[in-house]
Structure 1
Amino acid sequence: MYRLRGHHIFCLLGYRGMGYSKEYAENMTRLYQTLRVNPETFVQLVNGPDQLCEKYPNNGEYHCQDTNIYERDAVILEKIGLKIGQVLRWKDIELHIQKSVIPSDIQTICETCSWRSYGYCEEGIQLIVNGQGLKKIE
């Protein structure tokens, strides 16, 4: 079972193999591939740093404890109708996304995210909405 915070659900949808560091990207790729190949994998929704935060580079400000990140976590969980502490299969999280999110939601929910400009998150949400799951990373 993996532990994920709210905003990392959206980060995973737009993940395309890039990250804050090599170690961070390798960790995220492992998680991403597990969820993509086995959507029956269980995920526990947590408040605060999760298994992806564990590999965030220690090169200054630790943004995983930033108040704005906690706020984004809460907004995303509320948007998709989930709560901290729940344990669900990844495919059930995808179903929640299908019912409650559209690609343009990224523009407001993730307005301050530095990765938003790539457009991958909107593409990832559209794939989930279409029932296609996580995109294969080339």
Structure 2
Amino acid sequence: MLKIRAHHLLCTENFVNEGYSEDFSKNMGEVIEKLRENSEVKLIKDLDDICKHCPENLGDHCKNDEKVKAYDEKVLKVLNLSSDEKYFWSDIRNLTCDIIFDRDRREEICKDCQWNELCKEVETMRR
């Protein structure tokens, strides 16, 4: 079972093989491939399987811990989900697309993220 931060539901949807480093991008791609197999996922508000090669991973917490935990909380609230619960990937991905992406609510959650401009480009191309 994969452990995924709640806000990473947004990141996995907009990922286009760009990231902090080659190792980060490779790991992200591998995690996304596992998710596509409809893996069971435990949603968390802490370092997860995607954070493994992130340079902001300080070992026991994220360099921007308060900021990303706020993103996690917003995603959980908007989707009416709970942290530390298990879900099937296809269910939470569909929910994320229906409630956040299809209704243009992503920026409401993470507009101050350093990747916001790239996400906007990806979302524009998807339309």
Q: TM-score scaled by structure 1?
A: 0.76
Q: Following TM superposition, by how much is the alpha carbon of 1:107 offset from its aligned partner in structure 2, in angstroms?
A: 2.1
User: 1:7 is matched with which residue?
Assistant: 7
Alignment match, 2:44? 46
**Other structure's SS at 1:96 match:** helix
Percent sequence identity is: 24
Partners of 1:59 and 1:50 lie apart in 2 by 10
Unmatched 5+ stretches in structure 1: 128-138
How far 1:35 sits from its partner (Å)?
2.0
Which whole-Å CA distance do the structure 1 matches of 2:124 and 2:85 have between them?
26
Alignment RMSD (CA, Å): 2.5
Provide structure 2 residue ranges, at least 5 long, that are not aligned to the other structure: none
Q: Distance in 2 between matches of 1:4 and 1:123?
A: 25
1:89 aligns with 2:88: yes
Show the 5 A alignment for 1:1-138. Answer: 1-36=1-36, 38=37, 40-57=38-55, 63-101=62-100, 102-118=102-118, 119-120=120-121, 122=123
Q: How far, CA to CA, are the matches of 2:18 and 2:41 in structure 1?
A: 22
CA contact (8 A) 2:57 2:63 kept: no
